[in-house]
Structure 1
Amino acid sequence: MSDKVVVITGTSTGIGLATAAAAVRSDFTTVATLRNLDRADAVRSTGADVRQLDVTDADSVAECLAGVIADYGRVDAIVNNAGASVLGTAENLSMDDFRRAMEVNYFGVVELTKAAMPHLRATGGRVVTVTSVGGIVGQPFNEAYCAAKFAVEGFMQSLAPVAASVGVGICVIEPGAVTTEFVANAGIEPAKEIAEAGPYAPALRAYIERTLGAYTVGQTPEDVAAVVMQALTTDPIVFRRQTSDAAKAFVASTLADLDGSAILNLTSTWVR
């Protein structure tokens, strides 16, 4: 492996696992982290250095980074990939649901990025963060998840010029639908969710039918990992990368929508 060290979060499945494998193939010294080491068999098979890391635990973040520095002497990049879905609308979700979504999808990103910055300054490194088209376009029944991803995008866009002033590059990766275990890991049971949705049941049924269909024809984790690797290796770094033509078109629909009406007209069709 090269002397370039990348730390990747959320590598048990999906995009994180595919990114760890791609980084190893690209000769990065790859530290693949996950919260539960009982789920580490697949990522161990990539040849990565597998370590425990819970991004919602400050002590875990500090301990993991200290171990990487002790063993390798440097960190050249981090890939913030760990995340969790939350399905539901504001009236039916609890405040704890919203707080959990923010903890793993937003505060965990901030925690690791903040802790890694001194090491990235020393190496002229990079922060690559897997957000979502849901960090640009608010989507029905994803108020908690999209709010967290919007927060990540705002944090990273605000940090980018400041980080660049000390030699650190920032990039966000915006996938659309990806055929991973992400939806399954959200614990979604469609019939149960619809039965408990009350007056929102017809809209939720329409949304779930549309969304499950989108995920059956989505990109592969390897497709997204290839874009992450571009962000890690291509100069000059760009701030925002979508992972498919469909994601580019979807994101463009809101970035060019100054009064917000076009995107609301689009997403309203998802629930009727």
Structure 2
Amino acid sequence: MALLSRKLLIPLLGLVLALYFYSGGDEFKPELLKGKRIIVTGASSGIGEQMAYHLAQMGSHVLITARREEKLKKVVAKCLELGAPSAHYIAGSMDDMVFAKSVVKKAEKLFGGLDMLILNHMGDSYYNFFNGKVDHVRKLMEINYLSFVTMTVEAFPMLKSTNGSIVVVSSIAGKIGQAFVVPYSATKFALDGFFSSLRQEFILKNVNISITLCILSLINTDTAVNAVGDVLRMPAAPQEECALEIIKGGALRLREVYYKYELTKIPILFRDWVPELLDSIMRSGFIVENLKNDSSLFS
């Protein structure tokens, strides 16, 4: 009992310190984004769409991308209505690395440079027990991970010249293993490993490009709610607020953004000290019988 108490006390003390440091720092001002040249991927709906609108209102030049061209046209039109000095789109799929590179090249052609690269897109996956299909894991890794790396490499010269920022939209599933999202979780862990390591190398090489990793809880996008709404006992946070917090984190060049904080940072603190307890709590949050088309592992 005493051992358990000590195990619980340490993360609680860590939480107090984390809350203290989180409350400090620079103040965000929308003017920080005025005139900035920004790419937002996965911007035809959800968080990406909302980020485009926030940036438009802040006076940023935006280039958005996703697969659905008609939806992108509407988002661009609204961005211009909201005050964006310029707004453009390019439609295509991020499982094609040639297309991923072409997005960055179009930004260079349109803007003559780049100040911020917001990587937000993700491939379609399922919410259920892992089905053992390795081809799906491979394709999801290409979209959710390799295209992020490809765009970062392609954008590096422009971002280096502007002391720019890379914003990587990830998930609590990229910090703590999650049931029913095995392929997705694997891609998010890969993002953490790549960009956290790259940040270290930037510092060692005196490269003044910031990398902000965004750790998100469940957000009320149509895709997420439709997939997990009946299975996960967790409130979904508003996508509009989430999008703004991501933008703030990138503008302030934060190392990581946690949203919602209590549903991301606190579980991570417990992960390292009482992992079995955390796992048990997480499993209790599922209504397994509500899984759609429930199937046995590897069936």
> Is this contact kept in 2: 1:86–1:97, CA < 8 A?
no
Counterpart in the other structure of 1:253: 270
TM-score, scaled to structure 1: 0.82
Quick one: which amino acid aligns to residue 90 of structure 2?
R
> Is this contact kept in 2: 1:128–1:170, CA < 8 A?
yes
| Aligned positions of 1:152-167 closer than 5 A | 152-164=191-203, 165-167=206-208
- Determine if the alignment matches structure 1 residue 21 to structure 2 residue 53: yes
Counterpart in the other structure of 1:117: 156
Equivalent residue for 1:269, pick from 253, 268, 284: 284
Pair 66,208 (structure 1): closer, same or farther in 2 beyond 3 Å: closer
Quick one: which amino acid aligns to residue 169 of structure 1?
S
- Determine if the alignment matches structure 1 residue 232 to structure 2 residue 250: yes
1:174: Cα distance to partner? 1.1
Distance 1:76 1:99 in 2: 31
1:265: Cα distance to partner? 2.3
1:28: Cα distance to partner? 1.3
The size of the alignment, in residue pairs, is: 244
Distance 1:24 1:122 in 2: 23
Q: Percent identity?
A: 23
Quick one: which amino acid aligns to residue 6 of structure 1?
I
Quick one: which amino acid aligns to residue 263 of structure 2?
A
> Is this contact kept in 1: 2:73–2:89, CA < 8 A?
no
1:117: Cα distance to partner? 1.2
> Is this contact kept in 2: 1:55–1:112, CA < 8 A?
no
What's the secondary structure of 2:257's corresponding residue?
strand
Counterpart in the other structure of 2:210: 169
Q: Cα deviation per residue 1:185-219 (whole Å; 9 max; x = unaligned)?
A: 7xx5xxxxxxxxxxxxxxxxxx87442x53xx311
Pair 86,158 (structure 1): closer, same or farther in 2 beyond 3 Å: farther
Distance 1:184 1:108 in 2: 25
- List alignment gaps of at least 5 residues for structure 2: 1-32, 81-86, 289-299
Distance 1:139 1:262 in 2: 14
What's the secondary structure of 1:172's corresponding residue?
strand
Distance 1:141 1:240 in 2: 25
1:62: Cα distance to partner? 2.2
> Is this contact kept in 1: 2:72–2:91, CA < 8 A?
no
Equivalent residue for 2:241, pick from 223, 226, 239: 223
> Is this contact kept in 2: 1:10–1:16, CA < 8 A?
yes
What's the secondary structure of 2:79's corresponding residue?
coil
- List alignment gaps of at least 5 residues for structure 1: 189-206
- Determine if the alignment matches structure 1 residue 50 to structure 2 residue 82: no
1:68: Cα distance to partner? 1.4
1:89: Cα distance to partner? 2.7
| Aligned positions of 1:66-105 closer than 5 A | 66-84=105-123, 85-90=125-130, 92-105=131-144
TM-score, scaled to structure 2: 0.75
1:246: Cα distance to partner? 2.5
Distance 2:278 2:225 in 1: 27
Over the aligned positions, Cα root-mean-square deviation in angstroms equals 2.2
> Is this contact kept in 2: 1:132–1:175, CA < 8 A?
yes
Q: Cα deviation per residue 1:112-151 (whole Å; 9 max; x = unaligned)?
A: 1121111111110000011011111111111111111011
> Is this contact kept in 2: 1:5–1:75, CA < 8 A?
yes
Distance 1:243 1:259 in 2: 22
Distance 1:252 1:7 in 2: 32
> Is this contact kept in 1: 2:258–2:264, CA < 8 A?
yes
**Which stretch shifts more, 222-231 or 51-60?**
51-60
Q: Which has the larger radius of gyration?
A: 2
1:71: Cα distance to partner? 1.8
Pair 25,226 (structure 1): closer, same or farther in 2 beyond 3 Å: same
1:259: Cα distance to partner? 6.7
Pair 178,153 (structure 1): closer, same or farther in 2 beyond 3 Å: same
Distance 2:256 2:126 in 1: 24
